[in-house]
Amino acid sequence: MHWLLVILITLMSLVVTLVSIEYISKYAIRKPNHRIEQKRSEVPKTAYTTAHFVYGLWDTSPIPENFQNTMYLWEKQGWKVKLWNKEMVDSLLDEYPDYKQLIPSFTRKVQIADLARLLILFKEGGHYFDLDCVPTKENLFVHLNEFGPNNVFYQECVKGYISSMLVGITKRIRKWSPEQTSRIANFAFGARPNDPVIKRNLELLRFRCMQFADQHTDYDVIFKTGPDCTTTVVHEASDKVVLENRVWMRHIATGTWKHQGDIQQTEIQVLPKSE
């Protein structure tokens, strides 16, 4: 009986320790500053004047009033708003055939939007926002144009080390590799034209789409074209600015694409794997 009590106490202590480690690891991570602390290398003065939005890649209905209001609120800060529709995105994709050829392998419509936003900023520079990103009272336009960073990304959330390790174990596509504890968003980011971090993001997206063409779960989409791809690149980059997204915007994040909510097609073209 005594040894059962010892085992029980040991197990309880282990659980408490693991929970404590998880809590500490999650909140001990230094969060990104909400202010840019130093001026980076010079960029064109137009680099942060345009706010890009994408709508209608698969939805032919008029843009909802709440999305129109979102663009208006960003415009009030000083941004020049540019709304990309399907025709404009298709024309852009024609300029990048290596990336256009990936689309037949996409199973989710959101993946087209994931690719489009990167190509838009790579070509034109500026800032991309999802239409459900509503600005706060803090003026991002004034702040960015005052300091002029080469690029700027936003921290989406922070996970504990144990949670990150469990994802690496349970998600087949990760092949036992844990997630980064700090996830970088792809619902908003900014860059100069031809920015090397955006270029690397595009390259990794293409590699993952070709390497894992037969994997299509919700998490696989996040890994191949979504925020995990951006997170990997940004954490590897030496020249970048990462801000806390909640200071500058409120992301409503409806997540309608999840749970197979935006299936693109049933017959998938499997691409040859990258060497």
> What tens digit of pLDDT does each residue of 104-160 get?
999 889 999 999 999 999 999 999 999 999 999 999 998 887 776 778 999 998 888
pLDDT category of residue 162 using cuts at 50, 70 and 90:
confident
What is the CA 264 to chain-centroid distance, rounded? Answer: 20
Decide if 227 contacts 185 (C-beta within 8 A): yes
Q: Which domains are seen in the chain, by residue range?
A: 42-251 (3.90.550)
Neighbours of 250 (CB within 10 A): 12
pLDDT category of residue 5 using cuts at 50, 70 and 90:
low
DSSP for 46-68?
TTTSEEEEE--SS--SPPPHHHH
Query: Which has more pLDDT, 249 or 19?
Result: 249
Ranges 72-86, 141-155, 169-183: which has the least confidence: 141-155
| Half-sphere exposure at residue 124, Cβ-oriented, CA atoms within 13 angstroms | 20
Please state at what angle helix 196-211 crosses helix 227-236, rounded to 10 degrees.
130
> What would the two tokens of residue 139 be?
């003026």
CA-to-CA dists, residue 11 to 4, 14, 16, 254, angstroms: 11, 5, 9, 39
**Tens digits of residue pLDDT in 205-260:** 999 999 998 888 999 999 999 999 999 999 999 888 899 889 999 998 766 555 55
Residue 9: in which H helix or E strand, if any? Answer: helix 2-28
pLDDT category of residue 30 using cuts at 50, 70 and 90:
very low
Could you tell me what percent of the chain has a pLDDT over 90? 52
Residue 126: in which H helix or E strand, if any? Answer: strand 126-129
Q: Classify each residue of 55-87 as buried b or exposed e, where b means 16 or more C-beta atoms within 10 Å of its C-beta.
A: bbbeeeeebeeebeebbeebeeeebeeebbebe
Cα gap 112→59, rounded to integer Å? 13
Q: Please give the pLDDT value at position 255.
A: 64
Query: Which has more pLDDT, 23 or 183?
Result: 183
Cα gap 128→51, rounded to integer Å? 6
